[in-house]
């Protein structure tokens, strides 16, 4: 395995340690990689006084977009998405673009910390800028941000740390963090706060990753009997640093050291009062046997300013022995890891029973470099560190021991090496060290290290690494247990348990490194002993490559771990670049789910590594589940090859295994490639008595038409039937006609009545001699009782939490009816959702309803409904007159804490939240307002004259992002007005999601992934207009797809619509030159896609030429000025009307 020599602390330790580096591939959010960063489970991770709001989970405005990681990197180099927490961030590039959140902490917010990236300067020394903070839509203050302490380039030296020349390309270290108290008072609970790129904000763009918010306690008072550093002449300088020191600040180094000496000689505490105190030059502070205390990490700062370039080795800011240090902030002007950039540590400590408590460290070489016996680092923060966050070892300050040390309840984000490491060194030259023992690392959070592991164990014995939360490594392993380099100690025992590891692993040196690794070689050296490591009860989710990798190691116990949705394989012995010529492990009780096509839950690639493997999910698959982890939606299509996981006798029962099944799924049987439209595999080798299970999620109860794609050389009477989990025959016998061959396909139909919710259907093979490719479910409606959707939004994940509150949400109808029903979604909830006291009424104005129109809504005859996580509730019919083109208020009471809500971000409407159960009240005085929709996803009407509904599927243009709030001037609204004016009773359903894409998830699930739910499942759907999603594929996916990929994706949607009997209307893509993410490559693909739409072989049933309707005839790559909203990406209301006017109403034949 290749490696790169690296000196971790050149000033303090001459030991050259070999560390491997890593490099990522960039892209945008994909299935399994959530755009929103999930909170650590209660049992794992640090308890912090702040709440983190991920930008990708906020509400985007003004054309802002989300950039996310969508697939495993194919390059060793970095990207902003790889270095971002959640592997995603919001991109603000145009004036007026913003990301907004709601304060749902239940506490006021008086302090913010922002992690973001702005561009480097052409010379490589960074720039400073501001970004504006708004509260409840009103400007509050400008936040200082900079890029002076970020941006390193690797183009000429991979994994180097000393190149700040942008011309050398291949950058990394994109993000920095800055914090401040708020002016103008705290942000109240329930208020909104936004980061907005205004015209006064001079950076070309702002890539916002995450905002931490809190309400710090008051400054701590000076301890009785302590010595204040100001009594020795230390002087505070409180001018903001913003990435560079204040040149006029006084140097307090001598004064502080003088006070330390006095405190030591007098046995007193050293007090550092509120303020920023400078250490100028290369000298650090030294203390022994005392307590050093500040007023709190928000108030007291020691700031080191080193003249650059520097050529003097630097000691740490503090070098302390047997001390207690607590409650202050350490910062530095350091611009890189190398000595010339001021690289020096923050806190070196050793001795006995030392304590570091409540220390916040930024911009230093390392946070804690700690040795000795009985010491503890706790309750501390480490953000934007150039190398290790917390490195407990046996060498710091010339010690030779590192025993009984504890690292507890610390938060680390954005470290340039291991966030937390146990680093047992065996020798350095002729100096030897005692192997470390009994180190405990527990309850810590490690997020987004851009150059190291989340938690690393390097040698020693008796260590416990427990209940930590690790996520979003950019290049490397999330959690590793091994030894460090040729001169590290062997690892002879450790326990790794209860940890949560999310989106971890990386592609350093193009190696595809696992999320969790056990064995030698994790640092580039296949040497030494790694033995007796117990890895149990850990949760590993969305690993970027393999979830668990073994290299050479002995007697490892891998027990009862949960692995979900790895991007490559589950558990692998000797994966690429991690040789295991010998070794042994016991692998038992592990559960691996959510594997991708072609992946394996377990493999042993070494003939010399002995593994005892028993009781794991892939061996005893007694638990059944939907293929891929998520049940397909009904209405919608079910692919025959996607039968449940669980194996023979559980998920299926066949007499023999045939076909090329394992080419598609490792547990596959009786599959073969199909020539049917859409490709993929079909299910063959049918025979009487065989059966296959399919777990589905039925959105609404009712009678469904089931359309089966089948092929048979000869007719087969009574070929099959569908049954429920209880064995009830749902369809009766289904006959299959002769199609003339095994790959000559036709559609046969039957009907089935299904209840709502998740359920398992059985495809029973009663007589053989046929193949099946898919079966699709559609509402079997009658003219008299049909339901037509009049309003809808598409659900998204990551909305705010509610509890003991009433939501009153206003929807604007498209068509009318004599009765109504509402649809409430918990699609992205993590727990059951309770709704109560639901009402519908005609809206008068604001939050006020029209007297006499209020009607209660029930679900199964009950006023309260409990919707399971992932589920949907459709109400009973309500006798309620719904006028066309009117406002209807839907109110619901949420009696319990909801957790993060299922919502629709870009509502472009004012909705209301009030305390208590006030659903039936005429007005809601004092209600808070929001621009999003929560839980409510549809309103349907019954109208015997209705012709059905048209679904508009798209992104921000469809979502109406540039229309005025409450104006109802989205282009689907304008289309509804045109249809009503033409005397047509057609519902128009807006399924646009701002930032959405056709091919990959990001801002909501991709069009391909949400098509069944958001189009095919819509009541009365007869037509679909596919709009602007591909523009975001071209602009916010890296690398952008080619036109061939967009065309293939669109063809998939056409095929799926036609299978359900829907007409598919294709839109050309509007111009967007001048927008922040426009490129010539994207323009070429846009024009090719538009040519496909206009061609005769697109398969589309009609064309909406949005491009022709909106572009400037003199410059077709740009909007006509009269239609441009100003960001050159979105049309204004006149442009939205032009799009609606471009729809040929004759396409909607009755």
Q: CATH no. for residue 680?
A: 2.60.120.260
Residue-level pLDDT at 377: 98
Question: What pLDDT is attached to residue 621?
Answer: 53
CA dihedral 326, 332, 337, 340 (to 10 degrees): -140
1149 band by pLDDT with thresholds 50, 70 and 90 = confident
Counting residues of the chain whose pLDDT is more than 70, the rounded percentage is 94
Task: Note whether 702 and 793 are same-domain residues.
Answer: no
Cβ neighbourhood burial of 998 (10 Å; 0-12, 13-18, 19+): buried
In a domain, 108, yes or no: yes
- Same domain flag for 771 and 787: no
The domain total for the chain is 5
- Between the CA of residue 700 and those of 754, 871, 1057, what are the distances in Å? 8, 10, 19
pLDDT tens per residue, range 908-922: 999 999 988 999 999
Q: What is the token pair recorded at 270?
A: 């050293």
pLDDT value at residue 949: 94
Residues 1065 and 982 in one domain: yes
| Long-range CB contacts for residues 1117-1122, cutoff 8 Å, separation at least 24 | 1117/1071, 1117/1073, 1117/1083, 1118/1071, 1118/1073, 1118/1074, 1119/1070, 1119/1071, 1119/1072
pLDDT per residue as tens digits for the range 530-566:
999 999 999 999 999 999 999 999 999 999 999 999 9
pLDDT recorded at residue 658: 77
Flag whether 63 is in a domain.
yes
Domain that holds residue 308: 227-614
Q: Which domain-ending residue is among 558, 581, 614?
A: 614
Q: What is the mean pLDDT of residues 29-45?
A: 38
Q: With a cut of 70, say whether residue 279 has pLDDT above it.
A: yes
Residues near 10 by Cβ (< 8 Å), separated by ≥ 6? 313, 339, 343
CB 851 within 8 A of CB 911: no
Helix pair 1043-1059, 1080-1094: axis angle to 10 deg: 40
Residues 444 and 585 in one domain: yes
Q: Which helix (H) or strand (E) holds 516?
A: strand 516-518
pTM of the entire predicted model: 0.59
* pLDDT (0 to 100) of residue 42: 36
Q: Is there a single domain that holds both residue 263 and residue 207?
A: no
Q: Which helix (H) or strand (E) holds 748?
A: strand 746-754
| 447 to 254, 371, 389, 1109: CA distances (angstroms) | 37, 24, 11, 47
Model confidence at 403: pLDDT above 70? yes
Model pLDDT for residues 1015-1032, shown as the tens digit of each residue: 998 999 999 999 999 999
Q: Is residue 810 part of a domain?
A: yes
Q: What is the DSSP letter of 850?
A: P
Burial class (CB in 10 A: 0-12, 13-18, 19+), 734: buried
Q: Specify if 628 maps to a domain.
A: no
Q: What pLDDT is attached to residue 858?
A: 92
- Of 39-43, 208-212, 213-217, 856-860, the least confident: 39-43
Of 196-210, 333-347, 501-515, 565-579, which range is least confident?
333-347
The answer to whether residue 13 scores a pLDDT higher than 50 is no
* Euclidean distance between CA atoms 935 and 913, whole angstroms: 13
Q: Does residue 3 belong to any structural domain of this protein? A: no
Pair (1008, 1123) in one structural domain: yes
Q: Residue 661 pLDDT more than 80? A: no
pLDDT at residue 34 above 50? no
For residues 159 and 53, the model is more confident at 53
Task: Tell me what the pLDDT averaged over the chain comes to.
Answer: 90
Length, in residues, of the chain: 1150
Residues 985 and 914 in one domain: no
Residue 344 pLDDT exceeds 80: yes
Mean pLDDT of 602-628: 87
- In 3D space, the residue among 437, 424, 435 whose CA is nearest the CA of residue 464 turns out to be 437
* Residue 622 predicted with pLDDT over 70: no
- Identify which has the larger pLDDT, 920 or 782: 920
pLDDT at 19 over 50: no
> Tokens in use for 638?
């079910």
Q: Within 13 A of 607's CA, how many CA atoms are on the CB side?
A: 0
Alpha carbon separation from 1083 to 865, 1033, 1041, 1119 (Å, rounded):
49, 12, 12, 13
pLDDT tens per residue across span 937-946: 999 999 888 8
Residue after which a domain boundary falls, among 778, 793, 816: 778
* Domain C-terminal end among 760, 778, 796: 778
| pLDDT given for residue 1097 in this prediction | 83
Give the mean model confidence (pLDDT) for residues 365-377: 97
Domain check: are 696 and 818 in the same one? Answer: no
Per-residue confidence band for 660, with pLDDT thresholds at 50, 70 and 90? low
Q: What is the pLDDT of residue 702?
A: 65
Element (H, E) at 653: strand 652-653
Classify residue 626: in a domain, yes or no.
no
Task: Give the pLDDT mean for 44-63.
Answer: 94
Given a cut of 50, whether residue 751 has pLDDT beyond it is yes
Interval 859-882 mean pLDDT: 88
Distances in Å between the Cα of 385 and the Cα atoms of 125, 177, 414 are: 18, 10, 6
Q: Are residues 1018 and 1093 in the same domain?
A: yes
- Identify the pLDDT of residue 615: 87
Does residue 29 have a pLDDT over 80? no
Same domain, 821 and 755: no
Look at residue 628 in the predicted model and tell me its pLDDT.
Answer: 85
Tokens 């340690």 -> residue: 17
* Domain co-membership, 712 together with 803: no
799 shares its domain with 904? yes
CA distance readout (Å), 850 to 456, 615, 853, 869: 63, 63, 6, 34
């Amino acid at each position: 395995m290749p490696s790169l020599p690296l000196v971790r602390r050149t000033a303090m330790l001459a030991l050259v340690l070999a560390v491997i580096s890593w490099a990522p591939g960039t892209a945008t959010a994909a299935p399994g990689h959530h755009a929103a960063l999930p909170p650590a489970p209660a049992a794992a991770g640090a308890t912090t006084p702040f709440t983190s709001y991920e930008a990708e989970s906020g509400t985007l405005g003004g054309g802002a977009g989300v950039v996310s990681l969508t697939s495993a990197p194919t390059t060793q180099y970095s990207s902003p998405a790889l270095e971002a927490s959640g592997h995603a961030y919001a991109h603000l590039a145009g004036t007026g673009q913003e990301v907004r959140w709601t304060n749902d902490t239940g506490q006021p917010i008086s302090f913010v910390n922002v992690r973001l990236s702005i561009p480097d300067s052409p010379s490589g020394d960074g720039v400073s800028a501001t970004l504006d903070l708004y509260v409840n839509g009103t400007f509050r203050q400008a936040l200082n941000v900079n890029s002076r302490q970020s941006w390193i380039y690797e183009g000429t030296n991979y994994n180097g740390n000393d190149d700040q020349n942008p011309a050398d390309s291949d950058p990394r270290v994109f993000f920095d963090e800055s914090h401040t108290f708020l002016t103008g008072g705290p942000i109240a609970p329930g208020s909104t706060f936004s980061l907005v790129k205004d015209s006064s904000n001079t950076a070309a763009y702002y890539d916002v990753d995450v905002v931490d918010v809190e309400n710090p306690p008051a400054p701590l008072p000076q301890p009785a009997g302590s010595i204040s550093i100001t009594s020795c002449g230390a002087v505070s300088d409180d001018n903001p640093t913003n990435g560079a020191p204040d040149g006029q600040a006084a140097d307090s180094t001598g004064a502080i050291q003088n006070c330390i000496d006095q405190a030591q000689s007098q046995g007193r505490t050293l007090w550092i009062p509120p303020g920023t105190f400078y250490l100028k030059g290369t000298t650090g502070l030294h203390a022994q046997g005392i307590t050093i205390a500040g007023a709190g990490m928000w108030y007291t700062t020691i700031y080191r300013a080193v003249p650059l370039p520097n050529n003097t080795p630097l000691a740490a800011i503090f070098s302390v022995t047997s001390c207690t240090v607590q409650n202050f902030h350490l910062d530095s002007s350091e611009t890189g890891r190398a000595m010339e950039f001021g690289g020096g540590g923050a806190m070196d400590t050793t001795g006995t029973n030392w304590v570091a408590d409540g220390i916040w460290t930024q911009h230093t070489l390392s946070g804690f470099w700690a040795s000795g016996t009985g010491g503890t680092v706790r309750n501390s923060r480490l953000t934007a560190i150039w190398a290790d966050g917390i490195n407990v070892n046996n060498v710091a300050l010339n010690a030779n021991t590192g025993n009984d040390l504890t690292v507890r309840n610390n938060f680390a984000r954005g470290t340039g090496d291991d966030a937390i490491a146990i680093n047992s060194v065996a020798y350095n030259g002729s100096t030897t060290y005692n192997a470390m023992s009994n180190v405990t690392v527990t309850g810590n959070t490690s997020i987004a290290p851009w150059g190291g592991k989340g938690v690393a164990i390097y040698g020693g014995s008796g260590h416990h690494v427990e209940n930590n939360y690790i996520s979003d490594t950019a290049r490397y392993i999330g959690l590793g247990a091994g030894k460090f380099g040729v001169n590290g100690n062997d690892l002879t025992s450790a326990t790794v348990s209860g940890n949560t590891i999310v989106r971890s692993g990386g592609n350093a040196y193009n190696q595809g490194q696992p999320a969790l690794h056990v064995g030698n070689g994790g640092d580039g050296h296949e040497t030494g002993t790694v033995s007796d490591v117990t890895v149990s009860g850990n949760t590993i989710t969305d690993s970027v490559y393999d979830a668990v990798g073994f290299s050479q190691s002995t007697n490892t116990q891998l027990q009862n771990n949960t692995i979900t949705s790895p991007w490559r394989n589950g558990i692998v012995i000797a994966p690429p670049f991690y040789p295991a010529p010998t070794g042994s492990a016991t692998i038992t009780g592990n559960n691996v789910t959510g594997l991708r096509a072609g992946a394996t839950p377990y493999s042993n690639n070494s003939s010399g590594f002995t593994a005892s493997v028993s009781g794991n999910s892939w061996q005893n698959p007694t638990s059944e589940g939907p293929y891929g982890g998520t049940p397909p939606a009904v209405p919608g299509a079910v692919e025959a090859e996607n039968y449940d996981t669980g194996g023979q006798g559980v998920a299926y029962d066949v007499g023999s295994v045939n076909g090329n099944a394992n080419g598609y799924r490792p547990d596959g049987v009786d599959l073969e490639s199909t020539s049917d439209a859409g490709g993929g595999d079909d299910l063959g080798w049918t025979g009487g008595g065989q059966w296959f299970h399919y777990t589905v999620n039925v959105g609404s109860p009712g009678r469904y038409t089931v359309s089966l794609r089948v092929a048979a050389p000869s007719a087969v009477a009574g070929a099959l039937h569908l049954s429920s989990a209880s064995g009830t025959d749902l369809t009766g016998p289904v006959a299959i006609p002769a199609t003339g061959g095994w790959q000559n396909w036709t559609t046969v139909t039957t009907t089935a009545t299904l209840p709502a919710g998740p359920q398992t259907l059985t495809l029973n093979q009663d007589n053989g001699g046929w193949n099946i490719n898919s079966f699709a479910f559609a509402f079997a409606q009658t003219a008299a009782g049909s339901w037509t959707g009049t309003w809808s939004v598409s659900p998204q994940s990551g909305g705010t939490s509610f509890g003991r509150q009433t939501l009153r949400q206003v929807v604007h109808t498209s068509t009318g009816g004599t009765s109504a029903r509402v649809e409430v979604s918990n699609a992205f909830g993590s727990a059951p959702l309770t709704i109560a006291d639901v009402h519908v009424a005609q809206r008068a104005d604001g939050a006020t309803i029209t007297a006499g129109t209020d009607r209660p809504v029930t679900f199964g005859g009950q006023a309260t409904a409990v919707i399971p996580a992932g589920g949907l509730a459709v109400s009973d019919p309500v006798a309620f007159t719904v006028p066309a083109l009117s406002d209807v208020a839907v109110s619901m009471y949420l009696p319990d804490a909801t957790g993060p809500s299922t919502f629709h971000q870009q509502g472009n409407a004012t909705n209301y939240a009030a305390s208590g159960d006030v659903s039936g009240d005429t007005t809601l005085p004092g209600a808070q307002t929001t621009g999003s929709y929560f839980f409510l996803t549809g309103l349907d009407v019954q109208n015997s004259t209705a012709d059905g509904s048209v679904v508009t599927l798209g992104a921000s243009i469809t979502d109406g992002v540039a229309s005025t709030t409450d104006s109802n001037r989205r282009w689907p609204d304008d289309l509804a007005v045109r249809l009503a004016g033409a005397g047509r009773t057609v519902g128009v359903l807006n399924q646009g999601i701002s930032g959405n894409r056709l091919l990959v998830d990001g801002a909501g699930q991709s069009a391909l992934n949400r098509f069944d739910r958001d189009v095919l499942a819509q009541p009365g759907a007869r037509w679909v207009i596919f709009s602007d999603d591909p523009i975001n594929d071209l602009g916010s996916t890296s690398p952008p797809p080619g036109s061939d990929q967009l065309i293939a994706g669109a063809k998939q949607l056409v095929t799926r619509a036609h299978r359900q009997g829907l007409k598919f209307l294709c839109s050309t893509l509007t111009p967007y030159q001048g927008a922040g993410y426009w490129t010539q490559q994207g323009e070429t693909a846009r024009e090719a896609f538009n040519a496909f739409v206009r061609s005769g072989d697109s398969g589309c049933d009609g064309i909406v030429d949005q491009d022709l309707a909106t572009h400037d005839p003199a410059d077709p790559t740009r909007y006509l000025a009269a239609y441009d909203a100003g960001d050159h990406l979105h049309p204004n209301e006149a442009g939205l009307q032009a799009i609606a006017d471009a729809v040929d109403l004759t396409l909607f034949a009755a």
